[in-house]
């Protein structure tokens, strides 16, 4: 399933022309450092420019006016048989609480299962600004599987969520 249509919206495969708008969405969330934004853009460029790559699959949420409002990036975890990593999921802050994140996550889960995935892994930060993110995963039946103290920096732990299919 490449497209998902519901209530005047569309989740479609990422296109190279999406990069600038998606970079602005990632920045607008105000939770990512510029280095992290650079990594998000780098993964977008790999997906756009290396058509045969199988490491990153990106999908974008397009509203009824054709404007990009969010995206996700997922890929198989190296050296595993059926584990996938959700690298990025971001929704423009003006569109929060409109179930776009939920729709993107459900689409991601369907894509992963369609590719033979049985486990989805999500990594995030313990910083207070990530509390809504952590609650989001718990609301969607993800389990906090690991918590590594001072992983990103002193006082900034790694929190890992997983969901089995």
Domain count, the chain: 1
CA distance 87 to 57: 10
CA distance 159 to 24: 25
CA distance 135 to 15: 30
Q: Sign of the C-alpha dihedral, residues 48, 67, 136, 159?
A: positive
User: How many helices (H) and strands (E) in the chain?
Assistant: 4, 8
Give pTM, 2 decimals. Answer: 0.90
Q: What is the pLDDT of residue 7?
A: 54
Q: What is the pLDDT of residue 51?
A: 85
CATH label of the domain that carries residue 97:
3.40.630.30
Q: Are strands 83-91 and 57-62 parallel, antiparallel or unpaired?
A: unpaired
CB 147 within 8 A of CB 129: no
Domain span at 150:
4-164
CB 65 within 8 A of CB 103: no
CA distance 121 to 85: 5
What is the pLDDT tens value at each position of the chain, 165 positions in all? 444 444 556 999 999 999 999 999 999 999 998 999 999 999 999 999 998 999 999 999 999 888 999 999 999 999 999 999 999 999 999 998 889 999 999 999 999 999 999 999 999 999 999 999 999 999 999 999 999 999 999 999 999 999 999
Q: What is the pLDDT of residue 2?
A: 44
């Amino acid at each position: 399933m490449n497209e998902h249509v519901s209530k005047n919206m569309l989740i479609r495969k990422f296109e190279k022309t999406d990069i600038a708008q998606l970079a602005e969405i990632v920045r607008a969330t105000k939770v990512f450092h510029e280095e992290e934004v650079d990594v998000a853009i780098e993964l977008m460029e790999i997906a756009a420019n290396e058509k045969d790559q199988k490491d990153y699959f990106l999908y974008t949420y397009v509203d009824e006016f054709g404007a990009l409002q969010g995206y996700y990036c997922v890929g198989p975890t190296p050296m595993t048989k059926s584990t996938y990593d959700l690298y990025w999921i971001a929704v423009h802050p003006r569109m929060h609480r409109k179930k776009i994140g939920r729709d993107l996550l459900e689409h991601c889960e369907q894509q992963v299962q369609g590719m033979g995935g049985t486990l989805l892994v999500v990594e995030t930060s313990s910083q207070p600004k990530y509390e809504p993110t952590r609650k989001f995963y718990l609301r969607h039946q993800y389990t906090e599987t690991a918590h590594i103290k001072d992983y990103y920096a002193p006082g900034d732990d790694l929190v890992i969520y997983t969901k089995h299919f």
